[in-house]
Structure 1
Amino acid sequence: MAKRKSDATEISDYEDELQQPNRKAARKSDASTASSSSSTRSWKDIQLEGDDEGGVPVYDTPGEVRRKIRLLLKEPNFKVTPWLKEIGNINSNSYRRFMAEKDAQNGKGNGTYYAAYVYFEKRRILDGKAKTATRISNEKIPGGFELRDCRNMWVRAR
């Protein structure tokens, strides 16, 4: 019961607000259109020659792959552990040993070398980048670089 006229109008305004639910405008989201578009491709979608058998020929030296990894580390919001899992479930100790090598040819037997090379090659193709001159000259090696480290081998000749 309103005693004053001003109280009566305030109560009636309040009752009107209770009766009409608030209607929010629907947000327009680009997430649904972005996820459904076929133009977004991942590096995993690209197939390389020999990718099915696990025998992609490697044409970059371990030193070049380490250089590319160091550039990748400088990207904002990049984390090593999820990347290692994504490229082939590589052990962090294996990665650490590979990155600690000093010579450009050392580390060929490490699993990080092969997995990172495949990742960078697929990314190069996805980005549409050209091959480097060193890479083109390395392609003359039949089958690419050998994936074992020869520095701890003994050769016996008669």
Structure 2
Amino acid sequence: MPKRKSDATEDDYEDEVEASKPARKRVSTGSTDSGLSSGSSSSSKPKSWKDIPLEGEDEGEVQVYDTPGEIRRKIRLLQKEPNFKVTHWLKDIGGINSNSFRRFMAEKDAQSGKGNGTYYAAYVYFEKRRILEGKKKTATRISNEQQMGGFELRDRKHMWVFTGR
């Protein structure tokens, strides 16, 4: 091995590079049948809740069948999960503002908060997560689907009504 780089030849450099590379692990080429069957089933299953499409999602018109109170309950349960960070979650579900989230969570009435962006974004998240986990719809959810075509995304208590006289 030469003392200076200028004294080294190209062959010396290639030997040094080869020596610095980590040894490669051998890969067993055993039964490929079992590897293919397990790999193909996992590739067809979505890996994240973001990969699941919902009807009307592209247009922003997913039908909402849970009350705001139910969504708040689900969010509180989600907050108890280990390593859960509200700010990261709000960013993931659509860049929801933390003040909007705080106002939504502060509502007391089960029907209040329908006009808040957190309500719709969180509903879409929980619906996709339900589908990903393979959970069934609750009895309340099924009842809401049968009674109406989805909840309105407006709070009627904050609206003015004008009558003509």
2:161 paired with 1:152: no
Report the Cα distance in structure 2 between the residues aligned to 1:98 and 1:27, rounded to whole angstroms: 53
Deviations 1:21-78 (A, max 9, x none): 79976579xxxxxxxx625611011111111111000000000000000000000000
In the alignment, which residue of structure 1 is the partner of 2:69? 63
Question: Which structure 1 residue ranges, 5 or more long, are not aligned?
Answer: 1-20, 29-36
1:114 to 120, 135, 144: 120
In the alignment, which residue of structure 2 is the partner of 1:42? 48
Question: Which structure 2 residue ranges, 5 or more long, are not aligned?
Answer: 1-18, 27-41
Shift of 1:153: 2.0
Larger Rg: 1
In the alignment, which residue of structure 1 is the partner of 2:134? 128
In the alignment, which residue of structure 2 is the partner of 1:12? none
Q: Counterpart of 1:140 in 2: which secondary structure? A: helix
In the alignment, which residue of structure 2 is the partner of 1:99? 105
Q: Which one-letter code corresponds to 2:91 in the other structure?
A: K
- List structure 1 segments (4+ residues) > 3 angstroms apart after TM superposition: 21-28, 154-158
Q: Which one-letter code corresponds to 1:46 in the other structure?
A: I
Number of corresponding residues? 132
Report the Cα distance in structure 1 between the residues aligned to 2:21 and 2:60, rounded to whole angstroms: 57
1:74 to 80, 84, 87: 80
Q: Which one-letter code corresponds to 1:122 in the other structure?
A: K
Check 1:110–1:26 CA distance in 2 against 1; reply closer, same or farther (3 A cut).
same
For structure 1, which segment, 119-128 or 142-151, has the greater mean C-alpha deviation from structure 2 after superposition? 142-151
Deviations 1:97-116 (A, max 9, x none): 00000000000000000000
1:137 to 131, 137, 143: 143
Check 1:27–1:74 CA distance in 2 against 1; reply closer, same or farther (3 A cut).
farther
Report the Cα distance in structure 2 between the residues aligned to 1:59 and 1:25, rounded to whole angstroms: 57
In the alignment, which residue of structure 2 is the partner of 1:84? 90
Identity within the alignment, % = 76
Q: TM-score, normalised by structure 1?
A: 0.75
Check 1:22–1:57 CA distance in 2 against 1; reply closer, same or farther (3 A cut).
closer
